[in-house]
Amino acid sequence: MHSDEELDRLETALFKCMRTAKRPYYWEELQRRADVSIDRPAAAIILSLLNGPLQFQKLVHRLGVEAPSISRKVHELENNNIIKRVPTEDKRIHLLSLTEEGNAIGDNIKRARREMLADILSDWPSGKRHELIALVESLAKAMQEYFGSKDRVV
């Protein structure tokens, strides 16, 4: 059993990490490093599609956001030639896929996130970084199992 103090410390630390990642200066720095000008919802869609094409409903499920919000953003990204619709054998269904430009944007965002983490962890000894990675991976897995969704993490 965990003590209330331990759980409070962990919850506070996780909340601080999440809150910091949602702050404007975090996003501004990420955009600067990635050399992109894009909002967070668009970035979430692009990062979700980096692993390959998805049906619209699967994208909605993965992001955990209301379909109308995603639909508007998808249309905007289509109009900006960042994503495209790919027909399937079933004429009623198409997949959303990144264009060459969309892939480049996604790769730049991933690179910028890695750079920022590398900077944050630059003074940490290698063993501590490996320990952190293993612990955070275990926590993420446990949270996904607890909440019943293994495909929402971007």
Helices (DSSP H) in the chain: which residue ranges?
A: 4-21, 24-34, 40-49, 56-63, 67-79, 100-120, 126-147
- Give pLDDT, residue 153: 46
pTM (2 d.p.): 0.84
Cβ contact 103:50 at 8 Å: yes
Q: How far apart are CA 109 and CA 102, in angstroms?
A: 11
52: left (phi over 0), alpha (psi -120 to 50) or beta: left
Q: Are 58 and 133 in contact (CB under 8 A)?
A: no
At residue 15, the pLDDT reads 94
Residue stretches of the chain with pLDDT short of 50: 152-154
Determine the Cα–Cα distance for residues 70 and 73; give it in Å rounded to an integer: 5
Inter-residue contact 54 to 62 (CB < 8 Å): yes
- Residue 81 and residue 74 in contact, taking contact as beta carbons nearer than 8 Å: no
CATH T-level topology, domain 4-120:
Arc Repressor Mutant, subunit A (1.10.10)
Long-range contacts for 131-137 (Cβ within 8 Å, ≥24 apart)? Answer: none
